[in-house]
Amino acid sequence: DVKVTQSSRYLVKRTGEKVFLECVQDMDHENMFWYRQDPGLGLRLIYFSYDVKMKEKGDIPEGYSVSREKKERFSLILESASTNQTSMYLCASSLEGTGNIQYFGAGTRLSVL
Partner 1 sequence: LAKTTQPISMDSYEGQEVNITCSHNNIATNDYITWYQQFPSQGPRFIIQGYKTKVTNEVASLFIPADRKSSTLSLPRVSLSDTAVYYCLVGDISSNTGKLIFGQGTTLQVKP
Using CB under 8 A, list all residues that contact partner 1.
4, 31, 33, 35, 40-45, 48, 50, 56, 58-59, 90, 92, 96, 99-107
Nearest approach, Cβ of residue 16 and partner 1 (Å): 29
Nearest approach, Cβ of residue 106 and partner 1 (Å): 5
Nearest approach, Cβ of residue 7 and partner 1 (Å): 14
CA distances from 106 to 3, 26, 69, 92 (A): 10, 15, 22, 9
Between 43 and 77, CB nearer to partner 1: 43
Q: Residue 54 in contact with residue 112, Cβ under 8 Å?
A: no
Q: Residue 113 in contact with residue 14, Cβ under 8 Å?
A: yes
Between 19 and 48, CB nearer to partner 1: 48
**Closest alpha carbon to 63 in 44, 49, 50, 39:** 44
Between 85 and 102, CB nearer to partner 1: 102
How far apart CA 97 and CA 60 sit, in angstroms, is: 24
Between 85 and 94, CB nearer to partner 1: 94
